[in-house]
Amino acid sequence: MATLRDIKGRISGIKSTQQITKAMKMVAAARLRRAQENALNARPYSKKITELLNNLLSIEKNIENDLIKEREFKNIAVIVVTSDRGLCGGFNMNIIRTVEDLLKGEYSDYVSGDNLELYCIGKKGADYFSKRFNKVPGNYSGIFSHLKFDFAAKLIADLKFKFLNHEIDKIVVVYNEFKSVVTQNVRIEQLLPIKPEITTEDNKLDNVEYIYEPDKSAIINSLLPKYLNTQMWKILLESYTAELGARMTAMDMATENAKELIRSLQLTYNKIRQASITTEIIEIVSGANSLKES
């Protein structure tokens, strides 16, 4: 049976852990606010560019651009977006499991044919897959602490180059979408070739006589890479926000658990203490009694 001193030691240990988890929760909460702001600031640009592109694509149907043209998928690249740090609940495991499912299920033919590459953003995914999978050409760790649009643009530039060179024929991204602070959704999204959402109803560009400079297709061709950049940027912001949300929730739960643990340990501690006091009293009383009798 645990002695009083053991229990006291455990309680103080849990208390300091609780302090750490509490602090981590606060830090995550503060960062989350900033990340949410960033995600919010990125929204108008991405919304406008998507709108413009979709409108243009629905009036200019026969566009010749390799970025949207469907072709036979010989080589596939999967971008795995995880976090750099742990202690954020099931955040990374959900992504890893989804990717594993993809590799074993839908893309198993590509894996066995050695036609699938993984690009890992975030240290956790990179650590996991670089040990288990031999085709991980892209490994990007430590980008979330100072997230920059340039990173998204550079990554897209590299991937686009490979895509246009027919080294890769399809690119999908697996990432966590920020639903709310407590929930994240794992999303699988096709990045390339671009799948435009053709809008049929109420097309603004159809009704207005625009001057196009240089011309419609040139504008579309210049918009497509920008659209890709913003997509990637949005995904990174989304994932980072989700990560912070997940960490905040996980740390909040850890703090609560610690609280519960301390409560029950304190109860056992009190019980044992009371028991030892009772035994002492019994000993004193019975000692006194035996003196009286003699």
Partner 1 sequence: MKLLDLEIITPAMKVYEGKVHSVTIPGTVGSFQVLYNHAPILSTFEIGKIIIEDEKEVKHEYATSGGTVEVLNNKILVLAEAIEAKEEIDAERALESLKRAKERIASEKKEEIDLTRAEGSLQRAINRLKIVGHSN
Site residues for partner 1, window 58-117 (CB under 8 A)? none
Residue 285 makes contact with partner 1 by CB under 8 A: no
Per-residue string for binding with partner 1, 154-173, x by CB under 8 A? ---xx--x------------
Binding residue for partner 1, selected from 108, 222, 276, 278, defined by CB under 8 A: 222
What phi, psi does 165 have (nearest 5°)?
Answer: -85, 5
The two tokens of residue 142 are: 């430590």
Residue 145 makes contact with partner 1 by CB under 8 A: no
Minimum CB–partner distance for residue 154 and partner 1 (Å): 8
Q: Is 203 helix (H, G, I), strand (E, B) or coil?
A: coil
210: DSSP letter: P
Binding residue for partner 1, selected from 44, 105, 145, 197, defined by CB under 8 A: 44
Whether 117 and 74 have beta carbons less than 8 Å apart is answered as no
Minimum CB–partner distance for residue 44 and partner 1 (Å): 5
Neighbours of 40 (CB within 10 A): 11
Q: Of the candidates 121, 124, 154, which has an alpha carbon nearest to the alpha carbon of residue 138?
A: 121
Please report, as a single letter, which amino acid is at residue 191. Answer: L
Catalytic, 88? Answer: yes
Residue 33 makes contact with partner 1 by CB under 8 A: no
Annotated active-site residue in 28, 39, 88, 224: 88
d(CA 198, CA 203): 10
Q: Is 90 or 225 the residue whose CB approaches partner 1 more closely? A: 225
d(CA 12, CA 253): 19
Whether 224 and 64 have beta carbons less than 8 Å apart is answered as no
Name the one residue in this structure whose structure tokens are 């959704």: 185
Binding residue for partner 1, selected from 226, 253, 265, 268, defined by CB under 8 A: 226
Active site residues: 88
Q: Rule CB under 8 A: which residues touch partner 1? A: 38, 41-42, 44-46, 48-49, 52, 56, 149, 153, 157-158, 161, 205, 208-214, 218-219, 222-223, 226, 229-230, 233
